[in-house]
Chain A
Amino acid sequence: MTETIGLWVAALFTIGIYSFLYKENPLYRLAEHLVIGVSLGYNIAITYTNVIQPKLLDPISSGEQGAWLLLVPAILGLLYITRFFPGVGWLSRYPMAFLMGAGMGVGFPLSMKAQVLRQLEASLIPLYETGMAWDVVIGNVVMVLGTLAALIYFFFSKPHKGLFFGTGSKIGIWVIMIGFGATFGFTVMGRISLLIGRIQFLLGDWLHIIE
C-alpha cells in the first residue's frame, strides 16, 4: 500500500516538474518548494546521525577520555547562531575563521598535489613505446601537445604573437574547442539517459505500459 502511494506521489511530482516545459504552474511550484524543504530536512537528520551524535554527543555522554575538548568545536559552532543577532553578529566570524584557516592550510598542499603535480605527472608520458598501437601514439602526441598548447592559450602575460605564443595559442584554442564539444556531447548524453530513466519510471513502474 505504502509503495503504491509512493509510486503515485513520485509520478505526480515527475509530471509536475515536466509540466514546466509548457509553462510555470502551481504543481511545478509545489514540487519546487517541496524539494527544498525535504532535502534540507533530510540533511538535518543525516547531519545529526552522522556527525553530531557520533562525533560530539556520544563521546561526551560516554565520558571518553579527553572528550570535553569537543566542547571547543561545539561552542565555536554555536557562535554561528550569533549571525541572527545584529549586535553580536561578528562573533560568527570565529567559527568561519577556524574552518577557513585550517581548511586552506590543509587544502594547500593537497591542491598542489592533486591539481598541479598529479596533472603534470600524468602529462609526462612516453609518446612512443615498442608495440604501441598507432592511434595511441597519435593520441599521446595530441594529448601532450594539446595540454601545452592550451596552457599557452591561458597564458596572458605575453602577447599571443610569434611562432611559440602565436601558433601555440591558436592550436590551444582548437584543442579547447574539441574538449568543450566532447564535454557538451557527454553532458547531453547524460541528461538524455536521465530523461529515459524518468520516462521508463512513468511508463513502466507507474503505468505498466512497458516492461
Chain B
Amino acid sequence: MKRSIPLAIVMVGGILFMIQYFIPHQHSQTLFDYYTQWAPIVGAFALVLGVGSLYRLHSHKIKRKAKNWQYSYAVLVPLFLIPIFALIMPESLGGGIMQNMGGDRVTQGVFDFAYLNVQVPIQATMFSLLAFYIASAAFRAFRAKSALASILLIAAVIVMLGQVPIGELIGKWFPKIGLWILRYPNLGAKRAIALGVGFGMLATQLKIIFGVERNWLGGAGK
C-alpha cells in the first residue's frame, strides 16, 4: 500500500503511455488528452508543498530567533501578500495581474510592481554578478598548462573576441573563425554530449518505470 501501489501505478502508467504514442487511434488520443489535462492540475498542487515547506522553515526561524531571523519576514511577507493582491484585492486597492507581461514598464498594481521592480532587476543582477566570478574561474581554468587546456583557452578567446568589435579590428576573418568554431567542432561535441544525455535519459526513464530507481518515493512513512 505504501510503496507497492505507487510503484505499480508508475509501471502501468509508464508502459501504457509509452505504448499509447505508437497507437494512432481515437481512444489512444483521448487517453493522452486526459494526461495533458490532468498533469498540470496535479503538478500545480505540488506548489502547496513547496510553499508549505518554505513557510515552515522560515516561521521556525522566526520562532526560534535563529541567526538572521529578521530576513525571514522578507520571504514570508511577499510570499503571501503578492497572491493576495494579485488574486483577491480589487484593482482600486492595487490588486490584479498585468495582462501583458512583455510590455513596457507600466505598473498597475502590487503584483506588477513587485515583478518589474524587485524580481526582474534582482534576478538579472544576480546573473550578471556571475560575469565577475566567471572571470576568476577562467583565470584558474585557462592556464595553458597542457595541450588540452591550451585548446580550451584558444577556442574560448576566439569565440569571445569574435563577438566584439575588437575581433573585427584584428582581422575581418577573425569573427568568421569564431562562428566556424561555434557551428562545427562545437556542434560536433554538443551533439555527442546530447546523444549521451539522451541515452542516459532513456535508461533513467526505463529504470523508473520498472521500479529499479526508487529514490523518488522518498522516506515518508517508510
Contact = CB atoms under 8 A, between A and B. Distances in A.
Q: Is A bound to B?
A: yes
Interface of A: 2-3, 5-7, 9-11, 13-14, 17-18, 20-21, 29-49, 51-52, 55-56, 69-70, 72-74, 76-78, 80-81, 83-84, 86-90, 92-112, 114-116, 119-120, 122-123, 135, 138-140, 142-151, 153-154, 172-189, 191-192, 194-195, 197-198, 201
B49 A81 contact: yes
B88 to A, nearest CB: 10
Contacts of B42: 73, 76-77, 95, 98-99
Interface residues of B, number: 131
B220 A197 contact: no
Contacts of B39: 73, 98-99, 102-103
A98 B122 contact: no
Contacts of B221: 86-90
Given A29-B68, A83-B220, A93-B220, A13 B14 contact: no
A95 B181 CA distance: 46
Nearest to A176: B189
A52 to B, nearest CB: 6
A140 B134 CA distance: 31
Which label, helix, strand, loop or mixed, suits the secondary structure of the A interface?
helix
**Residue with the highest number of chain B CB atoms closer than 10 Å, among A9, A69, A147:** A147
B40 A135 contact: no
B79 interface: yes
B52 A37 contact: no
Given A35-B122, A37-B77, A21 B132 contact: yes
Contacts of B198: 111-112, 114-116, 119
Nearest to B207: A104
Nearest to B153: A181
B125 A13 contact: yes
A111 B72 contact: no
A149 to B, nearest CB: 8
B155 A36 contact: no
Contacts of B217: 93, 96
Contacts, number: 412
Nearest to B45: A77
Contacts of A73: 37-39, 41-42
Nearest to B75: A37
19 contacts: A17-B125, A33-B72, A47-B47, A76-B38, A77-B41, A80-B45, A81-B52, A89-B220, A90-B221, A96-B217, A100-B216, A101-B209, A107-B201, A143-B184, A143-B188, A146-B189, A154-B196, A183-B186, A198-B125
Contact of B40 (A6, A55, A86): A55
B4 to A, nearest CB: 11
B188 A150 contact: yes
Contacts of A111: 198, 201-202, 205
B83 A41 contact: yes
A80 B159 contact: no
Nearest to B109: A2
A30 B159 CA distance: 37
B129 A20 contact: yes
B174 interface: no
A41 B132 CA distance: 30
B191 interface: yes
